[in-house]
Homo-oligomer: A and B are copies of this chain.
Amino acid sequence: MIGFETLLRWLDLAGIAVFAASGALVASRKQLDLVGFMLIAAVTGFGGGTVRDLLMGRTPVFWLRDPALLAVASAVGVLVFFTAHRIENRFRALLWADAVGLALYAVLGAEIALVGGVAPWAAVLLGVATATFGGVLRDVVCNEIPLLLRKEVYALAALAGAAAFVLLRMHGIWRDTALLAGMALCLAIRAAAIARGWSLPAYAARRD
Chain A contacts to B: CB under 8 angstroms? 27-28, 30-37, 39-40, 50, 54-57, 59-61, 64-65, 67, 70, 81, 84-86, 88, 118-119, 121-122, 125-126, 136, 140-146, 148-152, 155-156, 199-208
Say how far A125's CB is from chain B's closest CB, in angstroms: 7
Residue in B30, B67, B70, B85 whose beta carbon sits within 8 Å of that of A207 in the complex = B85
Chain A interface SS verdict (over half)? helix
**Number of chain copies forming the complex:** 3
Chain B residue with Cβ nearest A117: B60
A33 touches B200 (CB 8 A): yes
Residue in B55, B67, B143 whose beta carbon sits within 8 Å of that of A59 in the complex = B55
A152 touches B34 (CB 8 A): yes
Chain B residue with Cβ nearest A143: B145
A149 touches B55 (CB 8 A): no
Q: Could you tell me the distance between the alpha carbons of A148 and B32 in the complex, rounded to whole angstroms?
A: 10
Chain B residues in 8 Å Cβ range of A204: 31
B121 touches A67 (CB 8 A): yes
Chain B residues in 8 Å Cβ range of A140: 140-141, 143
B200 touches A155 (CB 8 A): no
B149 touches A35 (CB 8 A): yes
Pairs across A and B, CB under 8 Å, 23 listed: A28-B203, A30-B145, A32-B203, A33-B150, A35-B155, A35-B156, A35-B200, A36-B149, A54-B59, A55-B59, A55-B61, A56-B64, A64-B122, A67-B119, A67-B122, A70-B125, A81-B203, A84-B203, A88-B205, A140-B140, A141-B149, A142-B145, A143-B145
